[in-house]
Amino acid sequence: MLTVAALYHFTRFADPAALRQGLLDLCLAQGVKGSLLLAGEGVNGTIAGTRDGIDAVLAHIRAMPGCATLMHKESQAATMPFGRMKVRLKREIVTMGQPDVDPLAGVGHYVTPADWNALIAAPDVAVIDTRNAYEVQIGSFTGAHDPQTHSFREFPAWWQANKDRFHGKRIAMFCTGGIRCEKSTNYLLGQGVQDVYHLQGGILKYLEQVPAAESLWQG
């Protein structure tokens, strides 16, 4: 079996281009395949390989500036899910197109999967799905608002057009693995929203930890 590791980490790389070749060379040497994005704001991606190969690459990433606390999620695959290894330089590791958004400056309150149900059932809480429309069609949480965006870039405009609907509400946000909510909650804080929460580990962690009999996920 091969190990698949999904990861992201916000930090500040002064020169992400200088990190690219060493990371790519190690992945190739270890037979690791997948895609990693490097930007001034951090690293994001999914890779697959042998246990030793994945461990070597994760150790390398954690040795990069500000990445010692990198968290990742693992799954198993019987066959290699990727055709090659890519390490690409990007402006953002998840594209929102808002230069002032900086998760390192502050994000919403993290809510564990165990506490999520109670939060989103509260009458003063509005739940917002930050994923794209095609993802929402597959499933979502009961009562969640769907911005019907086709890309994450559209989320700020949707918020500006709809924010009056959420006046006086606490905002609970979620996404697949958590990375979008790092930015969306920082964005709302910057817009003056006081009480912003997001699902720690995203939908994937919720489905992993919450028993089906207790789940509020529909899909």
Q: Return the active site residues.
A: 175
Identity of residue 216: L
Side-chain half-sphere exposure of 190, counting CA atoms within 13 A: 19
Alpha-carbon span 4 to 136, nearest angstrom? 24
Task: Please compute Rg for the chain using Cα positions.
Answer: 18
What is the DSSP annotation of 21-58? Answer: HHHHHHHHHHT-EEEEEEETTEEEEEEEE-HHHHHHHH
State whether the Cα torsion 175-159-128-150 is positive or negative. negative
CA distances from 100 to 87, 117, 183, 187, 188 (A): 25, 32, 10, 8, 12
Question: Which one, of 45, 42, 41, 153, lies nearest residue 95 by Cα?
Answer: 153
Residue with tokens 């979620």: 174
